[in-house]
Amino acid sequence: MTGPVGSRACPQCGAVLAGAAAVEDLCSACLLSLALSQDAIPTEGAAGDPPGAVLGSGARSGRPARTLSPIGTGVVAPAWAMPAELLRQAARRLRLAAIGVALGFAVSIALNNLIEVSGWHVFTHLAFKNVLHAFMVGVSAAMVWLTHSGRLVPARLLRVSLGYEVAVALAISLGDHMEPMSADVTLTSISWLCVWIVIFPLVVPASPRWALAAGLAAASTWPLAYFGGRALGNPAAPLHVLFMNSLEAYVAAALAMFSTVVIRRLQELGCYQLVEKLDHGGMGEIWRARHRMLARPVAVKLIRPELLGVKSPVEVASLVARFQREAEATAALHSSHTVALHDFGVTPEGAFYYVMELLDGLDLETLVRRFGPVPPERAIHLLIQACDSLAEAHATGLIHRDVKPGNILTCHWGLKWDFVKVLDFGLVKSAWTMGDDDHVTSEGTITGTPAYMAPEAALGGQAIDARVDLYGLGCVAYWLLTGERLFVGRTSVEVLLHHVKTPPVPPSERSGRAIPASLEALVLKCLAKEPHARPPSAEWLAARLAECETAAAWTPARAREWWEQNLSGTGAPAPGAGAHTTSPAGAVGSPRARPDA
């Protein structure tokens, strides 16, 4: 559970949690995934920061490819990083293993003393063996306490467990060398050391690199313990006997390594491999990725739930359930103007992810920033396609709630140019009632982007419907025609107040450019303060846009000519960054804009 945040530090990475939401006392970066960068994701404080991100224009990090570990799909993390839930399960298994080891050494103490008292066998160094085994009982009890107390986060606990593996191996090896080695038999029996080396990676998983290091260290305790036995007075063993008895431990380490790699590869089948980070914002990250089996390039988006106002595990669970229902509904959308959703889910850390098609194009935010306002006929062409996507969503009861230029891409799609794709349907709100678990946003928190938020959404306290998306689309049209946002302000709260009270300046007056009266009237109708004064549906709006006098002027030939002249050989942008979250203080987390290529 999460308590008051104060000045605590994240136990996973040490980042200060002051002023930030935290789930299970971890910072947002650790919640995203241990497989991702440990650096905190910056949050911009201005509502006006542009979200455009051109694929290929960002600096490549040069880091090796990474993978993410979601529930229900075969995606795993490389190196030491593992999903938090798997780490917790491994910690529980470690506790059981430590209990078993403690009982084993305790039983060994009792049996050894019973055997010697009964006269069945006389041990050379029974007292030393008793002390050694008693010490390991204490070490194992300490490990049980560590796993149960929660003083160490699972990732650090499992690092300690590798030291525990070597410590137990050393105790077994020293126990083996309490008695002199037979000079007549090359290999008397298989040591418990070999069993321990082979079994431990199956009980407590680690990356192949760490498993190899721990296995070799554990195997090396046997020849090291041999010299300990020599110091206690044991006679020297023939070289070939020493070699064969030492070799079996290294063979066990090789078998342990083989099982670790095989299990790792089996887990990787069918997963998505994160190749390059394309963008990051106040809510998460976007990665270029590929499917391991299909080699299909995709875009993977990771979303941090705590920035949606979710803080407690109960709220996280409710939000996960709602996200799954809405993502399933989104995946059923068939409009060619809605970005294709290939996969979705929730990582064990509680971060949402979804896998989308990777598009070759520009979001409308970047388009206008790089090339200026678009001609009215092109704006009509783009808006009609966006209406097609929203109309299907609205017909199925889904409300986007974050329609903005950064969530609408124009791209080269097959043989079509200036083809629109609407993004971020993974964060929609359903128009139908989902029950009590639907109310998971913290009081005073508004989800959306202030520059494109409808008045009723900004005010809250009332049900919203599909007309909030039409207001957002009107703001997008205003941006396309003027190159300026509908309202600007020093804080996000000031911007929201403008949306509630300030009448919009007609686009033609704002830009000083000629705009068809019919088009301008539709834009202003979309920007009406009262929902009932806006267009009744996205279909109605698309039909009226198509009737504007300049609608047919933007032809496929003009679109292709523009693309070949302006974007020939350039990279493609990643799908837009996540929804913004406005706090009561007016701070807005917005994506960081990349320099234009």
The pLDDT, as a whole number, for residue 281 is: 62
Count of beta carbons in the 10 Å neighbourhood of residue 536: 11
Give domain status of residue 59, yes or no: no
pLDDT tens string 362-400: 899 999 999 999 999 999 999 999 999 999 999 988 888
Residue 326: pLDDT band by 50, 70, 90 thresholds?
A: low
**Any domain includes 69:** no
46 within domain boundaries: no
pLDDT of the residue at 236 = 84
User: Can you say whether the dihedral through the CA atoms of 445, 49, 273, 300 is positive or negative?
Assistant: positive
499 and 390, same structural domain? yes
Same domain, 531 and 557: yes
* Residue entry with tokens 């837009």: 576
**Number of structural domains the chain divides into:** 3
The reply to whether 177 and 309 lie within a common domain is no
Q: How confident is the model at residue 186 (pLDDT cuts 50, 70, 90)?
A: low
pLDDT above 90 as % of the chain: 30
Give the model's pLDDT for residue 230: 84
pLDDT on residue 47: 35
The pLDDT score that the predictor gives to residue 229 is 83
Among 327, 358, 389, where does a domain finish? Answer: 358
Phi and psi of 273, rounded to 5°? -105, 125
Question: CA–CA separation, 512 vs 509, rounded Å?
Answer: 5
Which two structure tokens, joined as six digits, stand for 33? 């995934």
Do 104 and 226 sit in the same domain of this protein? Answer: yes
Domain identity same for 417 and 527? yes
Of 329, 588, 319, 322, nearest to 448 by C-alpha is 588
| Nearest-angstrom CA–CA distance, 520 and 506 | 7
Average pLDDT taken over every residue of the chain: 74
Asked if 235 and 284 sit in the same domain, the reply is no
Q: How much is the pLDDT for 221?
A: 92
Sort residue 586 into left (φ over 0), alpha (ψ -120 to 50) or beta. left
- For 323, which DSSP code? H
Residue 367 lies in a domain: yes
pLDDT tier at 319 (50, 70, 90 boundaries)?
Answer: low
Confidence band, pLDDT 50/70/90 cuts, at residue 282: low
**502 within 8 A of 496, measured Cβ to Cβ:** no
Residue 63: band (very low, low, confident or very high) from pLDDT cuts 50, 70, 90: very low
User: What is the Cα–Cα distance from 212 to 203, expressed in whole angstroms?
Assistant: 15
Instruction: For residue 279, name the pLDDT band (cuts at 50, 70, 90).
Output: confident
Task: Give the end of a domain, one of 238, 268, 298.
Answer: 268
- What confidence score (pLDDT) does residue 585 get? 25
What amino acid positions are annotated as catalytic residues?
402
* Domain termination residue (choose one: 326, 358, 390): 358
CATH number of the domain that residue 496 is part of: 1.10.510.10
How far is 561 from 557, CA to CA, in rounded Å? Answer: 6
Is 457 found in the same domain as 385?
yes
Report the CATH number at residue 276.
Answer: 3.30.200.20
Q: Is the pLDDT of residue 120 over 70?
A: yes
Residue 310: predicted pLDDT: 60
CA distance 312 to 115: 56
Pairwise CA distance, residues 453 & 471, whole Å: 7
Check pLDDT > 70 for residue 93.
yes
- Lowest mean pLDDT across 235-244, 276-285, 478-487, 497-506: 276-285
Residue 286 is assigned to a structural domain of this protein: yes
The answer to whether position 439 is within a domain reads no
**Which of the given ranges, 215-224, 299-308, 461-470, 476-485, has the highest pLDDT on average?**
476-485
334 and 391 part of one domain: no
In the block, residue with structure tokens 């941006």: 479
Give the residue, 42 or 468, on which the prediction is more confident: 468
More reliable by pLDDT, 485 or 126: 485
Query: How much is the average pLDDT of 419-427?
Result: 78
Residue 75 confidence (pLDDT) above 90:
no
CA distance linking residue 354 with residue 367, whole number of Å: 25
Residue 217 lies in a domain: yes
The pLDDT of residue 533 is 95
Confidence of residue 275 (pLDDT cuts 50, 70, 90): confident
- Shared domain for 343 and 364, answered yes or no, is no
At 524 the pLDDT is: 96
Residue 207's alpha-carbon distances to 120, 201, 257, in angstroms, are: 45, 9, 10
Task: Give pLDDT, residue 116.
Answer: 83
pLDDT tens-digit profile of 162-184? 899 999 999 998 888 887 777 66
Domain span at 288: 270-358
Q: Is 90 exceeded by the pLDDT of residue 530?
A: yes
Identify whether 559 is part of a domain: yes
pLDDT at 447: 58
pLDDT of residue 434: 34
**What's the mean pLDDT in 38-67?**
36
Is pLDDT above 60 for 325? yes
Beta bridge partners of 16: 9
The pTM (predicted TM-score) of the whole model is 0.54
Return the residue matching tokens 């050694």.
132
**Residues present in the chain in total:** 597
Q: What is the mean pLDDT of residues 320-345?
A: 78
**In the prediction, which pLDDT does 316 show?**
66
Q: How far apart are CA 506 and CA 179, in angstroms?
A: 95
Residues 402 and 286 in one domain: no
Q: Tell me, yes or no, whether 99 and 232 share the same domain.
A: yes
Highest mean pLDDT among 177-186, 300-309, 315-324, 520-529: 520-529
- Asked if residue 187 and residue 129 are part of one domain, the reply reads yes
Average pLDDT over residues 134-156: 84
